[in-house]
Structure 1
């Protein structure tokens, strides 16, 4: 008995559901706004601005991936990214950010021969989720601060 679907199987079910249920319903002149399924490739600029993405890329390419954002220079780049997303009013959900930080297709795959902790490659799951949680908490604080200060 199969207990879970692969990404391809899940996407196939989603597309079939859209084609067989949603699309015919949409053609009945319903008032609902229904979007079609998106592409398989995640577009980060659909969530955050291009300026914020550049700041995230700068952080990811320079940061020590074993310590997250704890080094002062890494922390500065990380905070610049967080502040940019809050200023833009376009923020990641923590789990979406964590998954994005682990995306080897976008950020690169660490080669087996490379023993370093800095460079253009994806984050491991633990660090990615830690950064995602840190990001979400920081955004909440910044939004609150801006709200009470009228910024």
Structure 2
């Protein structure tokens, strides 16, 4: 069983603020071939943001390897980042499809232009371990709980419940903010819990950490 979760990658472009207008024009000019800029939608989306944001919407035609998609570049103080890539037709993108399309955009558009104007590109990994989104202590506590628990009864046994509570407290103390869906995926895909139990535990987790935070505040 895999020890890592496949995840959607993030991408950001950072560089000299004074070169940012040139970067924008370069990215738009580079969109030829399979990638193009939807200028009309770009203007519409930017106009509807408050305050006014720098947004560039790209589209990619479908081919034998990829579906047709839209990719958004959202402006930051020193560059851009990609908040999402969405299919232009029905359905959704798998992790592999999303990451392959992001890599294609970087290779075809972002990297050549960024290099030209002195910007750098950063991307996150396409797979994550537990320690990538939990503190070391919380990750150890979760592994202790999951490895010892009776997976047919979730955390109902007193010993399992104590180990589950240890994990919750460790998350709260470290001020970790893991996504409940990611926790459910890890429990199911990596550690072998059935899907219903994984989602039930993730929902319990979300409620418990919110309650602990409320207690601290009051």
Q: Deviations over 1:35-59 (max 9, x none)?
A: 3141x32122121111111110110
Cα distance, 1:23 vs structure 2: 3.2
1:15/1:37 contact within 8 Å kept: no
5 Å-filtered alignment, 1:2-151, equals 3-24=91-112, 26-27=114-115, 28=117, 35-38=122-125, 40-104=126-190, 107=191, 122-148=192-218
Larger strand share, 1 or 2:
2
Q: Deviations over 1:5-62 (max 9, x none)?
A: 44433321122123334434544456xx963141x32122121111111110110111
Larger helix share, 1 or 2:
1
In 2, Cα distance between the equivalents of 1:43 and 1:29? 32
Segments of structure 1 that go 5 or more residues without pairing to the other structure are: 108-121
In 2, Cα distance between the equivalents of 1:25 and 1:97? 37
TM-score by length of 1: 0.73
Residues paired across the two proteins, number: 129
In 1, Cα distance between the equivalents of 2:114 and 2:176? 29
- Match of 1:35, SS state, is strand
In 2, Cα distance between the equivalents of 1:146 and 1:25? 48
Q: Deviations over 1:69-123 (max 9, x none)?
A: 111111110010011011001131100100011123xx3xxxxxxxxxxxxxx11
After superposition, the Cα gap between the structure-2 partners of 1:145 and 1:2, relative to the gap in structure 1 and judged at 3 Å, is closer
Higher mean C-alpha displacement, 1-10 vs 131-140: 1-10
After superposition, the Cα gap between the structure-2 partners of 1:141 and 1:7, relative to the gap in structure 1 and judged at 3 Å, is same
In 2, Cα distance between the equivalents of 1:23 and 1:84? 40
Q: Which has the larger radius of gyration?
A: 2
1:14/1:37 contact within 8 Å kept: no
